[in-house]
Amino acid sequence: MPVLKERTLIIFEEDVKNVELLKKLRARVVVQMLPPYRYDGMLTVEQSLRFEGRELLTGEKIRLDIPLSSITETYLGFDEIFVGKDSKGKKYQLNPIRIKYMTDDNIMTLYAFLEYKGLFRSNSGEECYKILKTVVNV
């Protein structure tokens, strides 16, 4: 039985750093003040952190399995890479959960917006962050 299962929007650090890709993603995000994201799907936490969804630009399916033991850091909020403002300087109304994890010899960083609910822009990120922090123990 999953500890956590939520609709989630994801963007990776490398996507945030790619200026051209970020422009395309921002153009595809319909709801105003929603941060740019690349993937939309379901995040499940059991023995691993599993994300199954679709890529925003191509519709291509994605499945990501991250062993809980490979997660090195969790953080609630924006940072110096993903600053939390649009190109006009307006703040986004949702805070991401930043998750850093190891793959082979690389450190990967993703930003997850959990339980996004459309026009009302509600987000249970803080509650989900507490659950994830407890399960991961970092």
Which residues make Cβ contacts (< 8 Å) with residue 134, sequence separation at least 6? none
What is the torsional sign of CA 20, 21, 26, 27?
Answer: positive
What are the tens digits of pLDDT across the range 63-98?
Answer: 999 999 999 999 999 999 998 876 666 777 778 999
Q: Indicate the pTM of the whole model.
A: 0.89
What are the tens digits of pLDDT across the range 48-71?
Answer: 999 999 999 999 999 999 999 999
> Domain range spanning residue 10?
4-136
Q: What is the pLDDT of residue 112?
A: 94
Question: Structurally, how many domains does the chain consist of?
Answer: 1
Q: What is the CATH number of the domain that holds 60?
A: 2.30.29
Tell me the average pLDDT of the chain: 87
Enter the tokens of residue 18: 């790619």
Comparison of pLDDT for 117 and 113, the residue scoring more: 113
Q: Side chain identity at 46, as an amino acid letter?
A: E
